Structure 1
Amino acid sequence: MKIAAALISVLTLVLGQFVIARGLPFTPHGHLVRDIISLLIANAMIWLSRRSDWSMQTRAQLFGAGWIWLIVQLGCSIYLLHNGV
């Protein structure tokens, strides 16, 4: 799962760069650093969800939140790329 999360993060960053290359008008400067930090946080949540010394509830919340964030980011990147924004 950790490898899948990392691959989705890389795919999201690549698609984001394609969108930016098309000239997205409302993207602020420094978007790449912000995106990398955001995706690193999501990957860290997924990585931390494997700790066996934490409660199952905490681990499930970390796992779910991390994957939801990755899927939302990927979906937004695909949407922007597909619509030619």
Structure 2
Amino acid sequence: MKIAAALVSILALVLGRMVIAQGPPFTPHGYFVRDVISLLIANAMIWLSQRSDWSLRTRAQLLGAGWIWLIVQFGCSIYLLCSGV
């Protein structure tokens, strides 16, 4: 689970860099750092969901929220890359 989350994060970052490389209106000011921090938070949520000393409800919420965060970030990267906004 943690490895899959890391792979999705890497793919989202690569797609984000490809969007920046397209040039205007995409500007590289803080975009990459913001995405790295955002994806690190999502991966931390997935990592923390593996703790056995927390309740099952808390762990399930962390896992669900982390994966939703990753999927939305990845989907937005794909959309921006394909749309050429």
Q: TM-score range by the shorter chain?
A: over 0.9
Tell me how far apart the structure 1 counterparts of residues 27 and 42 of structure 2 sit (CA, whole Å).
21
For 1:51, what is the secondary structure of its paired residue? coil
CA contact (8 A) 2:46 2:63 kept: yes
Tell me how far apart the structure 1 counterparts of residues 81 and 24 of structure 2 sit (CA, whole Å).
10
Counterpart code for 1:64:
G
Counterpart code for 2:11:
L
CA 1:18 to 1:61, structure 2 compared with 1: closer, same or farther past 3 Å? same
Give the structure 2 partner of residue 43 of structure 1.
43
Give the structure 2 partner of residue 84 of structure 1.
84
TM-score by length of 1: 0.94
Counterpart code for 1:9:
S
For 1:72, what is the secondary structure of its paired residue? helix
Unpaired stretches in structure 1, ≥5 consecutive residues: none
Tell me how far apart the structure 2 counterparts of residues 55 and 13 of structure 1 sit (CA, whole Å).
32
TM-score by length of 2: 0.94
Give aligned pairs, total.
Answer: 85
Tell me how far apart the structure 2 counterparts of residues 26 and 33 of structure 1 sit (CA, whole Å).
15
Give the structure 2 partner of residue 20 of structure 1.
20
Counterpart code for 2:74:
L
Identity of aligned residues (%): 80
CA RMSD of aligned residues (A): 1.2
How do residues 45-64 of structure 1 correspond to structure 2 at under 5 angstroms? 45-64=45-64
**Deviation (angstroms), 1:81:** 0.6
Unpaired stretches in structure 2, ≥5 consecutive residues: none
Residues 18-27 or 56-65, more deviating: 18-27
Counterpart code for 1:68:
I
